[in-house]
Amino acid sequence: MGRIAWPALALLALMGGAQAAEPLRIGLALPLSGPDAGFGQGARLGAEQAVSEINRAGGVLGQKIQLVVQDDAGDPKQAVAAARKLAGANVRFVVGHLNSGAAAAASPIYEETGIVSITPGATWAPLTRRGASLLFRLAGSDAQQGLIGGTLLAQRFRDRPVAIVHDKTSFGRSLADEAARALKAGGGRERLFEGVSREDREVAGLVAKLRALGIEAVYFGGLQAPAALLIRAMREAGLNATLIGSDGLLDKDFAQVAGAAAEGTLMTLAPAPPRLPESRGGARTPRTPEADLFAGAAYAAFEVIRQGAEGARSTDPAKVATYLHGGATTRSVLGEVAFDARGDLVRPPFAVATWRKLSDGRIDYAGTETAP
């Protein structure tokens, strides 16, 4: 091979520099319009701050992140369209989607096109049980929350009569099924497993069954409305059984409907959202509690991508996914994060709160303790 002239060498150097500077395209798919826009806009703020700080520190393995944003409006059909646009834009990673239905609809597209997706908030248990190899989530699943509720039931009411009730929704039934499995694993078994419809305003028959069985604790899988009716009817019937629920009770209407009967109810829930690091630019963007809910998780998703790429020594999505599935621990604003073979968190961040009467007379959930 002959000698290369200096102009040619200079051209090669310039080409090499251009390749090194090629950005790493990462998609952001969130509900930026529609009823969940407040949550999505907050997650976008967290994502944009993370990208800014990672790029300021040199990027991901020397590549600066280029954010490609799509609005899915929290709707499965729009999520599919957004996923296809992101795949067409040659992104390698996607942070999103926020809603379970949207994430479930978009996931097959990311799998087919070799894109790693990290959802900051989807909790639907089957999402990671459908054979997806490139999907990860930074929220505890409904199944994991039900498992914790059932473990709590087994620990505190071992060898005492307990019941498991759900609101006949897929969310509620999933929680109830997992609670029953955990109770059985803990050496217990429910005396009654029954559903009550959210549209059913009459629960006297169910309460009569609970009284007849001498039930001392009820695990409730579902949302606040039927749970509030149930606990109120239990107290009116003189049944002092403890109610244990999930973050489906996380609504001020629970105490308003249940009244004084809400006091003493236990509830599993995710811990308070973390504060984002102070922006190096010094500017702080005003946020609402709604926006703050997922800002930290979206920020953490980019920390996971960066550390995953560093651990895999590659920005190839398949290599990063293999590294993360191996149980590697990454540090984030959510604390230490590690994933199992399915892409679920190894240690889901749930706590236990108690509804109590506060000094101002209101009944609200106050204080948390470590979940079992």
pLDDT by residue (tens digit) across 213-253? 999 999 999 999 999 999 999 999 999 999 999 999 988 78
pTM for this one? 0.84
User: What SS3 state is found at 331?
Assistant: strand
Task: List, in order of start, the domains of the chain with CATH numbers.
Answer: 6-139+283-337 (3.40.50.2300), 143-269+350-370 (3.40.50.2300)
Q: If you search the block for the tokens 């248990």, which residue do you land on?
A: 125
**What is the residue type of 285?**
T
Question: Residue 193's beta-bridge partner residues?
Answer: 164
Question: Under 8 Å CB-to-CB from 13, ≥6 apart: which residues?
Answer: none
CB within 8 Å of 131: residues ≥ 6 apart: none
pLDDT in tens, 158-208: 899 999 999 998 889 989 999 999 999 999 999 999 999 877 778 999 999
The separation between CA 296 and the C-alpha centre of its own chain, rounded to angstroms, equals 11
* Percent of the chain topping pLDDT 90: 75
Q: Quick check: 79 pLDDT over 90?
A: yes
